[in-house]
Amino acid sequence: MPWLIAVVVVFCGSWQAAFSHDPARGKAVFQLCTACHGAGGEGNKAVNAPHIAGLNAWYVEAQLIKFRSGIRGTHPKDIEGMQMRPMSLTISSEKDVKEVAAYVESLTPNKGETTLSGNSDRGKDHYAICMACHGDKAQGNQALSAPPLIRLNDWYILSQLKKFKSGVRGTNPEDITGMQMRPMTMTLANEQAMLDVIAYINSLWEN
Ligand code: HEC
Ligand code: HEC
């Protein structure tokens, strides 16, 4: 099917023209992020900055675009989001957003300290509904815009579940993917249910 090969070649060619990757640039842009997220993207709980090392570039890019446009990080109760938003605005171009996102993905993830405790058996039951989008190993699913949860800090997951549930995240009318996530938090009746599902997600960690 020569026509199919031609289509694929043309498609790949145009994608490369749109973004020719420059890892050195991504690293340079990332220097600004290290103040909070750490030199290796390991995160820093003291400043509420989550572990981001190894997070998929498509998700990092999507979130940076949300922070820059104010779809995330502008709700008056989103204290941490409001700390992140001005940082996203210091990135000078859309190309640099892509470069820094690719650099974040290239960083080696490390398992953060466990800071919360929950019942992972009960959490497994709660996770059954999450699995449809985030995957059986919490590896994420780009086709559904659902990020991996496996490498997130437990304290960060708790804070985001609370934000979605209370409407601090996922209520901006332009936040299409956040609005898909928000109703899912209604299946977690209380903080204990959140802690249990987090304990289960934590148990899925693999290097
Ligand atoms: C002043 C400290 C600070 C700096 C500098 C900073 N961030 Fe953040 N970042 C945060 C905080 C705090 C959060 C958590 C927001 C929340 O809890 O909702 C965050 C969240 C994020 C998220 C969302 C993670 C997720 O799982 O959704 C990404 C992606 C991110 N930062 C990338 C970056 C990049 C890339 C840079 C550099 C251009 C950067 N940050 C610079 C503080 C910072
Ligand atoms: C219908 C699909 C769907 C289901 C089911 C779902 N999610 Fe999500 N989730 C998403 C999407 C899409 C996002 C990305 C939101 C965004 O782009 O800001 C997300 C984001 C998240 C985040 C934020 C991650 C980050 O890095 O900031 C957490 C935490 C999360 N989901 C946990 C859960 C849990 C726990 C469950 C089960 C109770 C669940 N999700 C069920 C689609 C889903």
pLDDT (tens digit per residue) in 20-73: 789 999 999 999 999 999 999 999 999 999 999 999 999 999 999 999 999 999
Segment 117-140 shows an average pLDDT of 97
pLDDT of residue 10: 46
Any atom of ligand 1 within 6 Å of the Cβ of 79: no
Report the chain's mean pLDDT, rounded to a whole number.
92
Given the CA of residue 55, which atom of ligand 1 is nearest to it? 26
Query: Looking up tokens 């490390």, which residue turns up?
Result: 110
Query: Looking up tokens 């990080």, which residue turns up?
Result: 73
Q: Do 147 and 55 meet the contact criterion of CB atoms below 8 Å apart?
A: yes
Given the CA of residue 29, which atom of ligand 1 is nearest to it? 38
- Distance (Å, rounded) from C-alpha 59 to C-alpha 145? 7
Higher per-residue pLDDT: 181 or 1: 181
Residue 26: what are its φ and ψ, rounded to 5°? -60, -40
Q: Tell me the CA–centroid distance for residue 6 and ligand 2, in Å.
A: 37
Any atom of ligand 2 within 6 Å of the Cβ of 177: yes
Q: Do 41 and 102 meet the contact criterion of CB atoms below 8 Å apart?
A: no
- Distance (Å, rounded) from C-alpha 95 to C-alpha 97? 5
Report CA torsion sign: 153, 149, 63, 60: positive
- Distance (Å, rounded) from C-alpha 145 to C-alpha 18? 21
Lowest mean pLDDT, pick from 16-20, 108-112, 145-149: 16-20
Segment 93-112 shows an average pLDDT of 95
Burial (0-12, 13-18, 19+ Cβ within 10 Å), 60: buried
CA–CA distances in Å: residue 32 to residues 83, 89, 182: 13, 11, 31
Query: Looking up tokens 């390991």, which residue turns up?
Result: 42
pLDDT of residue 3: 52
Nearest-CA neighbor of 100 among 32, 38, 46? 32
pLDDT of residue 87: 97
Nearest-CA neighbor of 63 among 92, 32, 31, 97? 97
Any atom of ligand 2 within 6 Å of the Cβ of 146: yes
Burial (0-12, 13-18, 19+ Cβ within 10 Å), 16: exposed
